[in-house]
Structure 1
């Protein structure tokens, strides 16, 4: 099961959203706290200014009327608010303390009774009465909804912009990962566009250069191998013709067998060197397996029995030429090294279609399993023989990977070798035009 945040893009999304949420919550708290502090400082400055203005007015122009909402009250007036005897809200307490700090020492500061217009009562040491001045409400009704709407809008815009940037950052890396997967499966790998940050461009450039060098090496080796194999076919044909003319029957048969073994090795060289996409028509694997087994029995009546266990159905299709080469190599390998019966099985697996060929022989030593599919590797002498070059399983793995499959070689618990090939559902049914297009089509698809 694929996890949503198991990809680079998913983790970038998680990090971006988490950081944006954290920063917006922090800014929201800071803005609210600073706004309350600013409001308190503004109210204190306004009250101090009004108190000083009233004192200057009383000292200089006592006969002039005071501004509205500003007045003086006698010390023994019953309207004087009482000193608060309980806890007052922290904002009001902070306001009173800040106001006392700004006024001379010994100044008494009180707030008017709740229910009236907000005002502050101030009595200094030199004042003859109480000075009453209005103040701004410390907690006026404010619309939180509007602030939350703006924060949500800014947050959504930032998330979309960050996700777009994360997608642009991981897209070249995703293309490179797909190319690495194709290269690892032995499929044609077109050059990956060199995009993204400098480090990623350098990595992509190095990968493209490596693919070109490996492909050039593989092409040179394939051309050399195909050329040698092709040039050997003509002298082998002449050698067989001359062997048929020998008078000694025993020697003639021995030479003919040696020539046939050499011709078989040459054919394996040619198949292994062939590196072009299979352009043959796709055929149902179950039906083709039955036809191949019938033809195999007809050509070699004395071979070991082959059992079929075909459960995939008509939906499992592969290119005809590839399927023929796969089964021919596996049946020849089972006939040469295994024991009867040979079982060909097809089924629908969890990751794709499965095609397997198993025998009931001794299998391969566990230490040699990792070397079984390497080209030109001959295992222990029990699996040797004339006419074999160590390419059978290497050809099988190469053919399976060429159509997007994976090959697994292992021993059966009850004895014998089992070669299982898994082909993804989408690759096994790839359209014929795409398979014939080869690397050019894949490059355009990128």
Structure 2
């Protein structure tokens, strides 16, 4: 199962959300702290200003009444609050800041709790206590309007950042899909060169590489097809002349050699063919049964070919592609394997499977990696029997072109097995590949 966090977009999204959340949280905490300190500074400035104003009022116009909430209290009065050393930390800082703003030796106290907050100040030169109102020091609320605005800003920032991350990873995703198609041997249209400069350079280099590989592959296919096609005419004349020989033993030997060469030429032509298969799709189970029945009728010793067809009617493949896959693998199993040869299909949770296995000696583990390489014959003695080393290479190319994957190996020490896996949407993918190749 694919996890979203494994994708580039998922990791960019996680990084963006984490960074934005951390920055907004730090900003909010700093703002709350600064607001608290600002409130304390403002209260200190206000209290200091009021005390200075009362002193000037007493000194200049002692006969004028004071404001209602400002008063002078005799030091011997019982209303004078006692010095309190167990004040809350914010209030204690407030008293210390006010004391620092006053002349040396000034006494600063706060009014008794329960009433309006007041500040009591008396300097050495003051005859009475000066009582002025102060702003209540309230701690910032845990949830206020700032949190709402912060959530709105954070939401818009996350949406904008996710869109930017999505736009950044789209060119890379297109390039990754093109690389996957190129690795499967499917036609690869030019990838649009967009995104950052480094990504544009990478895409440009990939497009150039695909063009060069396609040009080289085309030149090789044209050369191979041309040589194979030119050989068909002299082979036909050679067979005709062999049929006219009087010596039956010599005639049969020459005919066998011509047939072997003809088979090699046909394999060359199939391998060189680079177009898509536009044949009608057929049910794989039914077609496998028909091919096996025909193979038993024409091939000596093919009666031991068995079928285990369980994929169902929804497993479809182009007819020509399926026929070539089956004919190459059955010929290979008949020539180098041992009976019984089993053709099996199945339906799994990921798609369909088609496998052909025999009960021969299989292939050595060190040779499996080269088994599907073109023109590689694991047994040099096989070259004289009409084999060019293209059978498995053709099968691999056909399977990948049809949108599937293949696996070759020895199964339980009972011979060679070629297992081909196709997704459920194999037919639409194969049709799309055919149109792109056309």
TM > 0.5 between the two? Answer: yes
Partner residue in 1 for 2:333? 334
Runs of 5+ unmatched residues, structure 2: none
Q: 1:431 to 1:393 in 2, by over 3 A?
A: closer
**Alignment check: 8 A CA contact 2:73 2:130 kept:** yes
Q: 2:29 matched to 1:25?
A: no
Given that 1:281 and 1:432 are in contact with CA atoms closer than 8 Å, whether structure 2 keeps it comes out as no
Which residue of structure 1 lines up, in the alignment, with residue 119 of structure 2?
120
8 Å contact kept, 1:376–1:389: yes
State how 1:130-209 maps to structure 2 within 5 Å. 130-139=129-138, 144-209=143-208
In the TM superposition, 1:379-394 aligns within 5 A as: 379-381=378-380, 384-394=383-393
How has the CA–CA distance of structure 1 residues 229 and 141 changed in structure 2, closer, same or farther, with 3 Å as cutoff?
closer
Return 207-216 or 294-303, whichever deviates more: 294-303
The offset of 1:302, in angstroms, is 3.5
Distance across 1 between alignment mates of 2:307 and 2:173: 41
Map 1:390-405 onto structure 2 (within 5 A). 390-405=389-404
1:225-236 equivalent positions in 2, closer than 5 A: 225-236=224-235
SS at match of 1:81: coil
Cα distance between partner residues in 2 of 1:319 and 1:204: 33
Task: Please tell me whether the aligned partners of residues 304 and 339 of structure 1 are also in contact (alpha carbons under 8 angstroms).
Answer: no
Quick check: 1:112–1:119 contact (8 Å CA) kept in 2?
A: yes
- Partner residue in 2 for 1:56: 56
CA 1:47–1:157 in structure 2 vs 1: closer, same or farther (change >3 Å)?
Answer: same
SS in structure 2 at match of 1:347: strand
Question: Distance between the aligned counterparts of 2:383 and 2:339, measured in 1?
Answer: 18
CA offsets per residue over residues 344-393 of structure 1, 9 Å max, x none? 01012343211010111111111100000000001134655410000000
TM-score by length of 1: 0.95
* Larger deviation, residues 75-84 vs 139-148: 139-148
> Equivalents in 2 of 1:339, 1:56: separation in Å?
119
| Residue of structure 1 equivalent to 2:375 | 376
Question: Residue 83 of structure 2 contacts residue 109 of structure 2 at CA under 8 Å; is this kept in 1?
Answer: yes
Corresponding position of 1:65: 65
Counterpart of 1:429 in structure 2 is 427
Distance between the aligned counterparts of 1:272 and 1:145, measured in 2?
Answer: 74
Q: Distance in 1 between matches of 2:88 and 2:279?
A: 86
User: For residues 423 and 185 of structure 2, what CA distance do their matches in structure 1 show?
Assistant: 15
CA deviations over 1:87-124 (Å, ceiling 9, x no partner): 21111011011111111111111111112222211001
Whole-Å separation in 1 of the counterparts to 2:138 and 2:384:
97
5 Å-filtered alignment, 1:315-330, equals 315-330=314-329
Matches within 5 A, 1:203-242: 203-242=202-241
C-alpha distance in structure 1 between counterparts of 2:358 and 2:348, whole Å: 21
Q: What is the CA–CA distance in structure 2 between the aligned matches of 1:44 and 1:193, rounded to whole Å?
A: 65
How far apart in 1 are the matches of 2:139 and 2:72? 26
* Partner of residue 38, structure 1: 38
Return the alpha-carbon distance in structure 2 between the equivalents of residues 96 and 71 of structure 1: 19
Q: CA deviation at 1:431?
A: 7.0
User: SS of 2:387's equivalent?
Assistant: coil
Partner of 1:10: 10
Contact 2:338/2:360 (8 A) holds in 1: yes
Question: Where in structure 1 are there 5+ consecutive unaligned residues?
Answer: 441-446
Shift of 1:141: 7.6
* Aligned equivalent of 2:258: 259
Q: Counterpart of 2:385 in 1: which secondary structure?
A: coil
Alignment length (residue pairs) = 438
Q: Deviations over 1:370-429 (max 9, x none)?
A: 000000001134655410000000000000000111111101213211011111112x23
Matches of 1:107 and 1:330, distance apart in 2: 105
Please name the residue that 1:105 is paired with: 104
| Distance in 2, Cα, partners of 1:439 & 1:76 | 107
How many angstroms apart in 1 are the aligned matches of 2:292 and 2:51? Answer: 110
Instruction: Provide the C-alpha distance between the structure 2 equivalents of 1:318 and 1:433, rounded to a whole number of angstroms.
Output: 10
Q: Distance in 2 between matches of 1:171 and 1:227?
A: 42
Give me the whole-angstrom Cα distance separating, in 2, the residues matched to 1:3 and 1:141: 42
Give the aligned partner of residue 292 of structure 1.
291
> Do 1:306 and 1:344's aligned partners in 2 also have CA atoms closer than 8 Å?
yes
CA distance in 1, matches of 2:161, 2:100: 48
CA deviation profile, 1:255-304 (whole Å, cap 9, x unmatched): 11111111000000000011111111111100000010111112224335
What TM-score results when the alignment is normalised by the length of structure 2?
0.97
Shift, 1:434, TM fit: 3.0
Q: Could you tell me whether the CA contact under 8 Å between 1:282 and 1:432 is conserved in 2?
A: no
- What CA distance in whole angstroms lies between the structure 1 residues aligned with 2:188 and 2:434? 15
My pick for the range that moved more, 373-382 or 214-223, is 373-382
